[in-house]
Amino acid sequence: MAHEHADLHDPETDPLATYVLEPDDVRPLLEHVVAGPGHATATSIAPFTGSPVAAVPLTSVDDLPEAARRARAAQRTWAARPVAERAAVLLRAHDLLLERQSDVLDLLQVETGKARTHAWDEVGDVANAARYYALRARRLLAPRTVRGLFPPFTSARVLRHPVGVVAVITPWNYPLSLGLGDALPALVAGNAVLLRADPQTALTLLWSAELLADAGLPDDLLQVVVGGPDVGMGLLEHVDHAGFTGSTRSGRVVAARAGELGVPVTLELGGKNAMYVAADVDVEATAEGAVRACFGSAGQLCASVERIYVHEDVREAFVDAFVRRTAALRLGAGLDYRADMGSLVGPAQLARVVEHVEDAVGHGATVLVGAEQRPDLGPYFYEPTVLADVPDVARLHREETFGPVVAVYPVASDDEAVAAMNDSDLGLVAAVWTRSAARGAALAARVRAGAVAVNDTHQLIWGTVGAPVGGVGASGYGRRHGREGLWETTWTQTVVAQRGVHTGRGVGMRQLEALGSEVRASVLTRLLRAERALRLP
């Protein structure tokens, strides 16, 4: 497995480098954490070296009521501003993000351990979303006119209002995409946001808050709270909507508490995502796509492919090409674009990956490539791994690994592939590869997943920001992206008005009631039949 050497300070070789980042450089960011006097701290660790990054202040649940109070006060003024003014902040944030991308790319790599190319995917994603919502929000939030009961004497409009204060509970693996990216539609809709950061990736989110402030976002509209599950759960008591991204187990706990409180939630949870390689594919192009689908951010994303079903007619050729391309991936820890894959985030994630692979091998799975730790590169590096012959009893067969490990299974037909892909409680994303566009569309429609890519990967799904994405089954509910992602943090109000009531010239329920119940029923029956004949919706 090829590799690149790290260029970060390691305290074992450089005793003066106590922290990876200079404390004076990160202190201005840390001062923006919502945390009261005497707060506790958590030390984040650089995955590339295991060295400390920063002592991050922790938010207490006792800090949340005041943060929510300030957010509500700011939100009332913000919601009263025209959508065009709110959208202008997003456009300025878009420009500043691209201008300052080098800074946040460094932070993303230091905090998550991902390769720079995968860190850039977060920058590109958020810029894409900022532009989309800035340019579309005014139309998507505009009042909508619908046909009234007695046209033209009845008018009806549907209005959209911001819910108020939104909690965005963000995991460590994609802090920019799942933190700032989810905050943007909530903000342009007129809400305030309380953004919960994992202590491991708090600096990226604090940098994002500073970026929005520089783009013109008023004070207190976006506040960063830092902590674990207690803070995330505590937020539910102070907000009007919550968006949560994380494991299925944690998501169910969040959903249960939100249900008790009557707080609507959007959940994007786990994935055991599948890919099908049909018999008619270009093997090399498909193998290249499979590498991108499986090993981005070292497999630490809910949309990563962990199961590949290959038609037996091309199984040998595809597996050979896939293994060859996987073995050629360059692992490394440099803050540059030389590495193809970075590190796992820490010891717990490494232990899970090792356990899944060892359990599968113990039950008879075959290692085609990888399955080795790489302490020569850093404490949490693990080679991209391809397994075959994984039996049903192996944990890796059904459980989400959340690492650079994929299992390959042979199938004899399209029907067998679809059945195998759907044999999971999880249904987040999937992929189908075939030369035939018609075949691909038909197969995709049969797969039980919130989004399916044909001849590409989750990157194509995620980059199509105008379309909603989200899971089914144990992968959650609700949607981000598209108009649905904007509407998640709004509520609708229907306003129906009857004309002519005070002049006696209109036609409405008052006139019908005056005719008596029997005549009223007869007139309305004829009206319904006429509307049916005219095919009026």
| pLDDT value of residue 484 | 98
Residue 198 near residue 250, CB atoms below 8 Å: no
SS3 191: coil
CA distance linking residue 42 with residue 226, whole number of Å: 9
What backbone phi and psi angles, to 5 degrees, belong to 231?
-70, -40
Q: Is the pLDDT of residue 10 over 80?
A: no
Contacts for 351 with CB less than 8 Å, ≥ 6 apart: none
| pLDDT value of residue 246 | 96
CA 482 to chain centre: 13
The pair of three-digit structure tokens given for residue 174, joined into one six-digit string: 């994609």
| pLDDT value of residue 512 | 83
pLDDT per residue as tens digits for the range 158-211: 999 999 999 999 999 999 999 999 999 999 999 999 999 999 999 999 999 999
Per-chain mean pLDDT for the chain: 95
Is residue 302 among the annotated active site residues?
A: yes
| pLDDT value of residue 256 | 97
pLDDT per residue as tens digits for the range 470-525: 999 999 999 999 999 999 999 999 999 988 788 777 777 788 888 899 999 999 99
CA distance linking residue 198 with residue 173, whole number of Å: 9
Catalytic residue among 111, 122, 302, 400: 302
Residue 257 near residue 236, CB atoms below 8 Å: yes
Is residue 294 among the annotated active site residues?
A: no
Q: Is the pLDDT of residue 12 over 70?
A: no
Q: Is the pLDDT of residue 11 over 50?
A: no
Contacts for 196 with CB less than 8 Å, ≥ 6 apart: 167, 168, 169, 170, 224, 225, 226, 227, 231, 232, 235
**Hey, which bits of 170-260 come out as E strands?**
192-197, 222-226, 241-245
Cα end-to-end distance, the chain, whole Å: 62
Inter-CA distances, 286 with 78, 277, 319, 344, 432, Å: 48, 8, 10, 25, 10
Q: Is the pLDDT of residue 438 over 70?
A: yes
pLDDT band at 152 (very low <50, low <70, confident <90, very high): confident
Amino acid, res. 366: T
Contacts for 76 with CB less than 8 Å, ≥ 6 apart: none
Percent of the chain with pLDDT over 90: 90
Q: Is the pLDDT of residue 268 over 70?
A: yes
The pair of three-digit structure tokens given for residue 510, joined into one six-digit string: 């008052």
Contacts for 132 with CB less than 8 Å, ≥ 6 apart: 465, 466
Q: Parallel, antiparallel, or unpaired: how do β-strands 476-477 and 451-454 relate?
A: unpaired
CA distance linking residue 311 with residue 293, whole number of Å: 18
| pLDDT value of residue 3 | 44
Catalytic residue among 4, 111, 122, 268: 268
Element (H, E) at 4: strand 3-4
Residue 466 near residue 129, CB atoms below 8 Å: no
pLDDT band at 79 (very low <50, low <70, confident <90, very high): very high
